[in-house]
Amino acid sequence: MFIALSCTIAIGTNLSQFICIGRFTAVSFQVLGHMKTILVLVMGFFFFDRDGLNLHVVLGMIIAVLGMIWYGNASSKQGGKEKKNYSLPTTRQQKQGAASDSDEYQGKA
């Protein structure tokens, strides 16, 4: 039963990651990956032995979740995700530059 449950959860996780790749930025995708890791750890401690669970681990998980919440709030505000417009030169500018280069070359010849 646990193997079937684990396989079902793994398939669901892989499908959700495939869907998220094209919709989120790289940082958001990493934040989601960390959330998945925390959920796996919490479920592991809940269903299995709590041998590795100590204050250090719990504090790390809490800090990670708070950071994810902070990032979500910061990126949802206007201007949180700055997109810079890097435009390539237009073909007209390239033609003018090429023409001046060829004129300069012909003048030297």
* Interval 56-69: pLDDT, tens: 988 998 998 898 88
pLDDT of residue 73: 85
Q: Which tens digits make up the pLDDT trace of 1-21?
A: 889 988 998 898 888 878 888
25 within domain boundaries = yes
Residue 66 Cα to chain centre, angstroms:
17
88 domain residue, yes or no: no
Please check whether residue 18 lies inside any domain of the structure.
yes
- pLDDT one-digit tens code per residue, 31-86: 888 888 888 888 888 888 878 788 898 899 899 889 888 988 888 887 655 444 44
Give the chain's domain count.
Answer: 1
In a domain, 72, yes or no: yes
Q: Is residue 101 in a domain?
A: no
Average pLDDT, the chain: 76
Q: Find all residues with CB under 8 Å of 57, minimum gap 6, and list them.
A: 41
Token look-up 């719990």 returns: 58
**Torsional class of 70: left (φ above 0), alpha (ψ -120 to 50), beta (otherwise):** alpha
- Print the domain residue range for 73: 2-80
